[in-house]
Amino acid sequence: MRKYKKNSILINQNSGGITIDFIFAITLIMGLSAILLSLSLTLTVASITQYITFATARAQMAAHHTTDEQVASAQRQFNRLYSDPLFSPLYNGNWFQLSEPAFLLKPGDLKTFKTDFPDVKLSPGQPDLFIGFAITFVARILDFQIPFYGSTSDMGGDGSGFTTVIASFLSKEPSSLQCRDFGAERWKAIRKLNVNGGGADYSSFTTDNGGYVFYLNDNGC
């Protein structure tokens, strides 16, 4: 009888241990599941954002009368996609945000937009590189508290710790105005050439504006 009583006291002292292990395990599983879910959603929305930047850069790439009109066409494309009923709910909530859109028209713009990018120095006459569109992507969904673990970020809880730049770069076609300016400068250089064999120089009976000679530009300027 005494032996049974001692065992019952021992059983009462160990009761509840499995409950504590279960609470700790379920918290661990739920925390890891929340991280995986948040990361999966972030990668999905980042891919959608990458498509938006590509479509915007592609609209900017197409030739137009002036460079400003190329940028305006890209701006309309970005506004159309950003306000699309399929995409706008992703960025108008508390989970994701797009900010600081920028049209990168020359190498210096890239460094100005994001100082982490290296300097790009071009030699005279070399075509522009890194022409495209960039935007800042903020994933606030990754900034949250997990019991027993703490915060996923130490940036103050505003999601600023999960910020990156998503960009697309395409070689922009020259505008009609750029083609005409290029043709005019090329004609001035031709007029300065000397002709051997007794022929008249190109500058004879011509002016920088053409004179008796008319030049035509195609879209291969």
Same domain membership, residue 198 and residue 155: no
Same domain membership, residue 60 and residue 101: yes
Same domain membership, residue 180 and residue 127: no
Same domain membership, residue 205 and residue 114: no
Burial category of 11 from C-beta neighbours within 10 Å (exposed 0-12, middle 13-18, buried 19 and up):
exposed
Q: Inform me whether the pLDDT recorded for 11 exceeds 70.
A: no
List, for residues 109-135, the tens digit of each pLDDT value. 766 776 766 666 666 555 555 678 889
Same domain membership, residue 55 and residue 29: yes
Same domain membership, residue 163 and residue 122: yes
- Find out whether 105 and 167 touch, Cβ atoms under 8 Å: no
Domain that holds residue 124: 2-169
As for how many domains the chain has, the answer is 2
Same domain membership, residue 57 and residue 148: yes
What is the structure's pLDDT at 93? 85
Put simply, whether the predicted model's pTM sits higher than 0.75 gets the answer no
d(CA 144, CA 157): 7
List, for residues 30-54, the tens digit of each pLDDT value. 888 888 999 999 999 999 999 999 9
| Domain limit, last residue, from 138, 154, 169 | 169
